[in-house]
Amino acid sequence: QVQLVESGGGLVQAGGSLRLSCAASGRTFRSYAMGWFRQAPGKEREFVGAIRWTGGSTYYADSVKGRFTISRDSAKKMVYLQMNSLKPEDTAVYYCAAGRDSYYLRTVEYDYWGQGTQVTVSS
């Protein structure tokens, strides 16, 4: 059974940094992509970025490009979201997700989701 568990959320001031972690278990993820999503109150879930488990190529939403970085540690089955230069509009619940890799990272369909971790950025 696939499990994704996020951690690392919290309260940070604008301009600060946070690193979210996602612990993946339950299967081999070699042919998978791992994505990060977020959902702010009253808004739809938004794609943040994704990484290929094999090869490590990444793709980011324009809203976070240059500020957020996704990485993975294959041996530990961990995926990370490093968030720098945080803004109040980054406040949301952040979710880790896994889906079978696709030719384009932006078209991956995600089958597994974590429970989310809250990130709050104060102004």
19-64 tens-digit pLDDT: 999 999 998 888 999 999 999 999 999 999 999 999 999 999 999 9
Q: Summarize pLDDT for 97-106 with one digit per residue, the tens.
A: 999 999 999 8
Query: What is the spatial distance between Cα 113 and Cα 123, in angstroms, rounded to a whole number?
Result: 30
Residue 93's pLDDT band (boundaries 50, 70, 90)? very high
> Is 72 a residue whose pLDDT tops 90?
yes
**What is the structure's pLDDT at 1?**
87
Query: What is the spatial distance between Cα 65 and Cα 100, in angstroms, rounded to a whole number?
Result: 23
Assigned token pair, 116: 């989310």
